[in-house]
Structure 1
Amino acid sequence: MTLYRQLFTWMLAIFFLLILAVTGIELNTTRNFLLTQQSAEVNNTINSMGLALAPYLEDDDKVATESVINALFDGGFYQEVRLKMLSDGSEIIRNYPVTVEGVPNWYIALDLFPVITEERTFTSGWLQLAEVKVVSHPGYAYREMWHSTIQLGVWIGALFVAAMLIIAVQLSRSLRPLATITDRAKEIARNKFGDPIPLPPTTELRTVVKAINQMSSQLEAYFDQQAKEADRLREHAYRDTVSGLGNRSFFVGQLKSWLTESAVGGLVMAKVDLISDTYQNQGFEQGDMIVTQFSKKLNTTISDADVTASRISKDEFVILAPNCSSEELMIIGESLLAIVNDMQHDPMGISPPKVAIGLAVNNSVNRDPSVLLAQADNALTQARNSPNHPISMIDQTANDSSMGKQQWKSLILDAIAHEWFVFKFQSASTSDQNVIHQEVFSAIEKGQDYYGAAHFLGAVEQLELGESFDRYVVNHMIERLIDDPALGPIAINLTQNSVTNASFIRWMSTAMQKHRNLAGRLFFEIPESVFVRFPDHVSLLTEQAHRFNFGFGVDNYGRNFQSLDYLNKFKPSYVKIDFAYTSNLDDEAQSHVLASICRTAHNLNITTIATRVETEAQLNKLSELFVSGFQGFIFEKKVENHG
C-alpha cells in the first residue's frame, strides 16, 4: 500500500469515527429529549384527566366519565387507559391499536424508547374516588427520532463526502513532491538523470529533495566521468593521437573481425609521400599539421558507417571497406588521390601525386589477414610504376563466379517471396549457462545452394533492401514466438538501412504495439555506428521500444571512437562488444580498455556480451573484465557434450 493510501485511509477512518461519535451524541440527546417529552405528556394528560373527571366521579356518572376519557385519549399515542371506580369496583378500559406509520420495523426493534406507565388515584378531600392507569405508546417518539436520524444521516453523508474530497485533494497536493521524489528515485535506480527537482514548500521534503538532487548530479557526473575515462583509455590504446584515426592495433582488430564475419569487401592502402617529405623537410610540427589536414579530408570523404580508416605508420593509411565492390573501392582510391593532389598546391598539375594507393578486393571467408595485407602491399608496389596515376588494384574475384549486385538483388527478393530463408539460433548465456537470449542468424537455401548471412548482408545494405529484409525476418520471428510460447527470448539484427528509414520505424512501432505481449521475448540489435551517426533516427525507434517495453541491444560496441555517453541517453538492454577488443586478451593494454568500456556499461545496468568465445580460458578471463554474457562455440560444445 502506498503512503498516500495509508494516510488517506487513516485520515478518513479517524474522521469517520469523529463523525460517528458526534452522530451518536446528537441522536442520544434527541432520544433523551423525546423520552422526557413523552413522560411529561403522560403526566400532564393524567393531571388534566383528574380535573376533568372530578365532578363526574363524585356524582358517580359513568357515562360522562367514559365520554371524557374518550375525548381525552382518542388520537393520542397511548396503548391502554384503565379507570377503576372505587365506589362499586367497575372499570372503564380503553385499548388503542399500537401502530407506527413511516418507521421501519428494524428501527422500532432497536427498542430506543421504553413504555411509560403512570398510575394515579383520584380523590375528593379524604374520599378516594377512582384509580387510573395510563400506558403510553412511543410511536410519536419513534417517528420523530426516525426523521431526525434521516436528516442527520443525509447531512453527515454529505459532510463525509465533502471531507473525503478535501482530504484527497489536499493530501495529494501535500504529497506531490514526495511522488516526484519517488519517481526520480526510480529513474536514478535505472541510471536516468533529469533536471533537478524543484524545491517543495515543506521543510522536511525540501531537505530530502536537496539530497536527491545532489545525489543525482553526483551520480550523473560520475557516469560521465567514467565514460570519458573509458574514452580516453580507448583512444590511448587504439587511436592515433595526431590524425584522430585508428592506429595499427585498432586496424588489426577490425581486420580480424571483418575476415571472420564476412570478408566480403576490400582494403585500401595508401602511402602518402607528401607527409613523409613534410616531416623530413619542414619538421614534426608541420608534418603533424599535414597529417591532421589529410585525416580530416579523409573522414569527410568516407560516408559509409561500416568503412573505417586507420593510420598504421607515419605516412601509411589503411581503409577497411566491408561489402564494397571493386568499383566502389576504386572510387575511394580516386578520392584519396584527389585529396593529396589538392594538398600539394600544384595548380599547374606538373608534379606527380605524392602518394601511392593499393587496392585489394576480397570475398573469401576466414582468409588469413597476412595474405590480404600482402595483396594490398603488392598493389601498392604496382601503383609506384604509374607515377602520374599511382593507383593499382589486385582483384582475386575478377574471374570467379561471384554474383553481381543485380543477381544478389534478384536472389534476395526471390528468397523473400518464396520463403527460401532458413533461420538458426545461437545462445548468448551467462557463465553458468543461463540463456540471456538467442540471436537469429539468417541464410538462404535455394535447392542445393546455401548462402550464409555473410554472403548477402553486404548486398542488402548496398542495394537498400534492409527494410524489406528486416520486415520479413521480424514478421517471421513474431509468428514463431506466437506459435511456440517456449521459444525466446530472441534477438534480431536490424540493418542501418532499416533503422534510418521512417517507414520502417512506423511499421515497427505498430508491430510492437500490436504484439506488446511479446515484450521480454523479442529484442532488436542495432549497430553502434547508427547510434553514433544517426542519433535522431535511432531515438525514434528506441523511444517506441521503451514505450512498449521491448528490449534492444548495441552491436559492435566500442568500434566507433565517439564518446560512450550515448549509452546513458538510449539505455539499451545489452551491448555486444566489438571483436577487436576481445581478439587478444593476453595484451594487457587491450584488457584494460575492455574492462573500462565494459565497466561503463555494467554500471548503467547494461548487460555486456562477448562473442566468439571458444575456450574456458577466454570465458574466465572475460568474466574478470566486467563481461557478463558470452556467445560462441564454447556453449554449443557444452550443450553437445551434455546431450
Structure 2
Amino acid sequence: MTLYRQLLLWMLVVLFLLTSAVFAIQFNTTKSYLIEQQSTELNNVVSSVGFALSPYLKEKDFIAAESVINATFDSGYYSQVKLTLLDSEKEIIRHYPHIIKNVPNWFTSLIHIEAITQTRTLTSGWLQLANLTVTSSPASAYVQLWKATTQLVLGFLACLLLTAIVLSLVLNKVLKPLKQIQKSAQEMARNHFTASLPIPHTRELVDVVTAFNSMNIQLQQHFEQQAQEADTLRIRAYQDPVSSLANRSYLMTKLNSWLVNKPSGGIILLKSDAIEDNYQQGGYELGDPLVLKLADRLKELSADDITIARLNQSEFMLIAQNVPKDDLLDIGRTMLYMTSELNSDPLGIAPLQAAVGIVMCSETLTITALLAHADNALNKARQQIKEPLALLEISEQKTIPAIGKQQWNALVDEAIANNLIHFTFQKAIDANNTIIHKEMFAYIKKGQQRFNAGQFLSALEKLNDGAKFDRYIIETIFHKFTKKTKSVPVAINITQSSINDTGFIRWLNTKLLSCPQMRQHILFELPEICFIKNIDNTSLLCEIIRQNGFQFGIDNYGHNFSSTGYLNKLRPSYVKLDFAYTSQLDDQVKTDVLESITRSANNLSVLTIASRVETIEQKQKLTLLKVQGFQGYVTAQLVDGK
C-alpha cells in the first residue's frame, strides 16, 4: 500500500473513531433528554389532572371525572390510565394502543426505552379521594430519537466525506514531492535519468530532494563517461582519427568475415592524388582538411551493408555486400565526383586527380588476392583518359545473377503475389543456453532457384520500395503466430526504406493496435544506420512500437562509428554487436573495446547479443566480456543438437 493511502486511511480511521465517540455521546445525551422530558411531562400531566378531577370526585360526579380523563389522555403519549376510588374500590381504566410509526423494528429492539409509571393520591383538604396511576408510552420518544439518530448519521457521514476529500487533496499536494521522487527513482532504476526535481517547500523534503538530484546528476555523468570511454576505445581500435572512417584493422576484419560467408558484391578502391600531393607539399596541415572533407562526402554513401574505410593517406576502400555490378559502377562514379570537389578548378578543364578500381568478389578469393586485384583495377583505371574508373570481374565469380533493380523488384512482386517467400530462423541464446528469440530470414524460392534476402533487398532499398516487402513479412508472421499459444519470440528485420515511409509507420501502428496478443511473440529489429541517418523517423517508429507494448532491437550495433548516445534516449531491448567487435578475441585492445561497449549497454539494461558465434570456446570468451546473448552456428550445437 502506498504512503498516501496509508496516511489517508489512518486519518480517516482516527476521524471515524472520533466521530463515532461524538455520535455515541450525542446519542446517549439525546436519549437521556427524551427520557427526562417524558418523566417531566408525565409529572405535569398527573398534577394537572389531579387538580381537575378532585372537585368532581368530591361531588361523586363520576361521569364528569371520566370525561376529564378521556379528554386529557387521548393523545397517544400514554399507554394506560387507572383511577381507583378509595371509598368504593371503583376503578376507571383506560388502555391506549402502543403504535410506533416510521421507526424500524431493529431500532426499537436494539434501543430500549422503558415506560414510566407515576401514582398520585387525589385529596380534597385532608380527605383522600382516589389514587391516579398513569403509565407513559415510549412511542413518541422512539420517534424523536430515530429522527435525531438519522440526522446525526447523515451529518457525520457528510462531514466524513467532505473531510476525506479535503484530506486527499491536502495529502496529494503535500506528498507531491515524494511522488516525484518515487517516479524519478523508478526511472533511475531503469538507468533512465530525468531532469532535476524542483525543490519543495516542506523543510524535511528539501534535503531529500537536494540529495536525490545530486545523486541523479552524478549517476548520469557516470554513465555518460562510460559511454564516452567506450566510444574513445572504439575510435582508438577501429576508427581512423582524421577521417572518422573505419581504419585498416576494421576493414581487414570485415573483409575476412565477408569472404568466409559466400560473398556477393564487390569492393571499390579510391585513390586521391590531390590528397597525396597536399601531404607531400604541406604535411598534415594541408592534407588533413582534404581528407576530412572527402570523408564527410563519402559518409553519405554509408548503408547497413556498406563499409567505408581509409587504407592510408590517400586511399579509401568501400565494401559493398550484395550489390550488383551496375550499382557498383554508379557508386564508383559518385566517389569520383566527390573527389573532384577537392580540386580547385572553377573552369572544370583540369584532369581529375583520382582513380577508382572496382573488383567483383568471388568465393575463391583471399584477402591478399582481393587487395591485389583492387590495385590492378586501380592501375587499369589510371589508363582510362576519359574516366579514370575500371571494373575487374573474376572469372569464378558467378554468384550474383545479372538482374537489374527493376527485375529484382518484379521478382519480389511475383513472390508476394504467389507466396514464393519462405523463412528460416536462427536462434539467439543466453549464457545458460536458454533461447532468447529467433531471428527470421526470408528468401524467395522460384522453381529450383533460391534467392536470399541479401540479393534483392539492396535493390528494393535503392528504389525506396522495401515497405511492401516488410508489410508482407509482418502480415505473414502475425498470421502464423496467432495460431500458437506458446512460442519463442521472433525478431523481424525492418528495412531502412520502411522506416522512412510514413505510410508504413501508420500502417504498422494500426497493425500493432489490432494485435495486442502478439506482444510476447514479435520483436522488431532495426538497422543501426537508421539511428545515424534518419534519427527522427526512427525515433517515431520506436515510440510507436513501445507505446503498443512491443519491443525492438538494433542490428549491426557499432558498425557506423557514431556515438552510441542514442541508446539512453531510445532504450532498445537488445543490440546485436557488429561482427568486427567479436571476431578478434585474442587482441587485448579489441577485447577492451568490446568489454567497454557491452558494459555501457548493460548499464542501461540493454541486452548485448554477439552474432556469428561459431564455437563454444568463442561463446565462453564472450561471456567473460559481459556479452549476454549469442547467435550463430553455436546455437545449433548447444540447442538444436540436444
User: Which of the five TM-score ranges fits, normalised by the shorter chain?
Assistant: over 0.9
Distance 2:433 2:355 in 1: 51
Amino acid of the structure 2 residue aligned with 1:17: L
Moved more, 450-459 or 236-245: 450-459
Structure 1 residues 576, 226: closer, same or farther in 2, change over 3 A? same
The 3 A distance-change label for structure 1 pair 290 and 541 is closer
Residue 275 (structure 1) shift:
3.4
2:287 matched to which residue of 1?
287
Alignment CA distance shift 1:167-1:499 (3 Å): same
Whether the 8 Å contact between 1:358 and 1:393 is mirrored in structure 2 is yes
Equivalence map 1:518-529=2 (5 Å): 518-529=518-529
- Distance apart, 1:412 and its partner CA: 0.9
- Which residue of the other structure, out of 371, 374, 377, is the alignment partner of 1:373? 371
* Change in 2 beyond 3 A, CA 1:598/1:262: farther
Query: Matched residue pairs, number?
Result: 640
- Residue 139 of structure 1 corresponds to 139
Per-residue deviation, 1:439: 0.8
Q: Are 1:262 and 1:454, in contact at CA under 8 Å, matched by a contact in 2?
A: no
Equivalent in the alignment of 2:13: 13
Partner secondary structure for residue 482 of structure 2: helix
- TM-score, L = length of structure 1: 0.94
How many angstroms does 1:380 deviate by?
Answer: 1.9
CA positional deviation for 1:352: 4.9
Tell me the amino acid that sits aligned with residue 383 of structure 1.
Answer: A
- Counterpart in 1 of 2:480? 480
Whether contact under 8 Å (2:409, 2:459) holds in the other structure is: yes
Equivalent residue for 2:498?
498
Q: 1:148 to 1:296 in 2, by over 3 A?
A: closer
Q: What is aligned with 1:358?
A: 357
Higher mean C-alpha deviation, range 509-518 or range 263-272: 263-272
Q: Is the 8 A contact 1:326 1:395 kept in 2?
A: no
Aligned to 2:185: 185
Match of 1:325 in 2: 324
Moved more, 388-397 or 93-102: 388-397
1:420-469: CA deviation from partner (whole Å, max 9, x where unpaired): 11112211110111111111111112222222223322233233331001
Distance 1:290 1:41, change over 3 A: closer
The alpha carbon displacement at 1:100 in A equals: 1.8
Q: Do the aligned partners of 1:379 and 1:393 also contact (CA within 8 Å) in 2?
A: yes
Q: How does 1:561-580 map to 2 (within 5 A)?
A: 561-580=561-580
Residue 620 of structure 1 deviates from its aligned partner by 0.8
Q: Deviations over 1:501-529 (max 9, x none)?
A: 11111111111111122223211000111
Q: Which amino acid aligns with 2:214?
A: Q
Structure-2 change in CA distance of 1:406 and 1:337 (3 Å): closer
Seen in structure 2, the aligned counterparts of structure 1 residues 296 and 65 have a Cα distance that, compared at 3 Å, is closer
**Which structure 2 residues correspond to residues 171-570 of structure 1 after superposition, within 5 A?**
171-259=171-259, 263-299=263-299, 302=301, 304=303, 306-345=305-344, 352-362=351-361, 364=362, 368-386=366-384, 389-396=387-394, 401-570=401-570
Range that drifts further, 601-610 or 445-454: 445-454
Question: What is the rounded CA distance, in whole Å, between the counterparts of 1:119 and 1:435 in structure 2?
Answer: 98
Over 3 Å counting, the alpha-carbon distance change for 1:389 and 1:460 in structure 2 is closer
Cα deviations by residue, 1:110-134 (Å, 9 ceiling, x for unpaired)? 2332111112233445543322221
Deviation at 1:367, TM superposition (A): 5.7
Q: CA deviation at 1:291?
A: 3.0
Whole-Å separation in 1 of the counterparts to 2:171 and 2:531: 44
2-structure distance, mates of 1:442, 1:502: 24
Distance 1:297 1:138, change over 3 A: closer
**Distance across 2 between alignment mates of 1:584 and 1:237:** 12
What is the Cα deviation at residue 259 of structure 1? 4.1
**Letter of the structure 2 residue corresponding to residue 276 of structure 1:** E
Tell me whether 239-248 or 268-277 shows the greater mean CA deviation.
268-277
Q: Secondary structure at the match of 2:188?
A: helix
**Residue aligned with 2:84, SS:** strand
CA deviation after TM superposition for structure 1 residue 551, in Å: 0.4
What is residue 635 of structure 1 aligned with on the other side? 635
1:481–1:488 contact (8 Å) kept in structure 2: no
Deviation at 1:401, TM superposition (A): 4.7
One-letter amino acid of the structure 2 residue matched with residue 629 of structure 1: G
Q: Distance in 2 between matches of 1:464 and 1:458?
A: 10
Q: Which residue of 1 aligns with 2:618?
A: 618
Counterpart residue type for residue 112 of structure 1? H
User: C-alpha separation between the residues in 2 aligned to 1:150 and 1:337?
Assistant: 96
247 and 303 in structure 1: CA distance in 2 versus 1, 3 angstrom threshold:
closer
Q: Once structures 1 and 2 are overlaid, which stretch shifts more, 342-351 or 370-379?
A: 342-351
- Structure 1 CA distance for aligned equivalents of residues 198 and 486 of structure 2: 47
Measure the CA separation in 2 of the matches of 1:95 and 1:107. Answer: 25
CA contact (8 A) 2:265 2:360 kept: yes
Note if contact 2:433-2:638 (Cα within 8 Å) is conserved in structure 1. no
Task: Indicate if the aligned counterparts of 2:76 and 2:96 stay in contact, CA closer than 8 A.
Answer: no
Query: Any gaps of 5 or more consecutive residues in structure 1?
Result: none
Deviations 1:84-110 (A, max 9, x none): 212122221111111122322222222
Q: 1:97 to 1:367 in 2, by over 3 A?
A: farther
Counterpart position of 1:598: 598
Distance of 1:306 and 1:70 partners within structure 2: 115
Deviations along 1:336-357, whole A, 9 cap, x unmatched?
A: 4344445344667787544332
Moved more, 212-221 or 341-350: 341-350
Native 8 Å contact 2:50 2:132 kept in 1: no
1:2 positional shift: 1.9
Any conservation in 1 of the 2:304–2:527 contact (CA below 8 Å)?
Answer: no
Matched, 1:80 2:80: yes
For structure 2, the residue ranges without an aligned partner over 5 or more in a row are: none
Q: Alpha-carbon deviation of 1:495?
A: 0.5
Q: In structure 1, what is the Cα distance between the partners aligned to 2:494 and 2:269?
A: 30
Specify the SS of the correspondent of 2:128: strand
In structure 2, how many angstroms separate the alpha carbons of the residues matched to 1:437 and 1:470?
19
> Aligned partners of 2:51 and 2:348: how far apart in 1?
147
Change (3 A) 1:307 1:482: same
TM-score after normalising by structure 2 = 0.94
Judge which range, 588-597 or 108-117, deviates more. Answer: 108-117
CA deviations on 1:330-384 (whole Å, 9 max, x unpaired) are 233334434444534466778754433211123x569643443333222123234
Distance of 1:66 and 1:294 partners within structure 2: 130
Letter in 1 for 2:403: M
Counterpart CA distance in 2 for 1:100 and 1:350 is 120
Q: Distance in 1 between matches of 2:88 and 2:286?
A: 150
Task: State the secondary structure of the residue aligned to 1:109.
Answer: helix
Counterpart contact for 1:263–1:367, Cα < 8 Å: no
SS at match of 2:110: coil
CA contact (8 A) 1:309 1:317 kept: yes
Tell which deviates more after alignment, 470-479 or 1-10: 1-10
Letter in 1 for 2:533: R
8 A Cα contact 1:80 1:134, kept in partner: yes
The Cα offsets for residues 232-263 of structure 1, whole Å up to 9 and x where unpaired, read as: 11111111112222110111223234445673
What secondary structure does 1:69 align onto?
Answer: helix
Identity of aligned residues (%): 43
* Aligned equivalents of 1:105, 1:471: Cα separation in 2: 73
- Per the alignment, do residues 367 and 163 of structure 1 end up closer, same or farther by CA in structure 2, a change over 3 Å counting? farther
Deviates more, 1:507-516 or 1:100-109: 100-109
Deviates more, 1:237-246 or 1:52-61: 52-61
Q: Distance in 1 between matches of 2:410 and 2:636?
A: 34
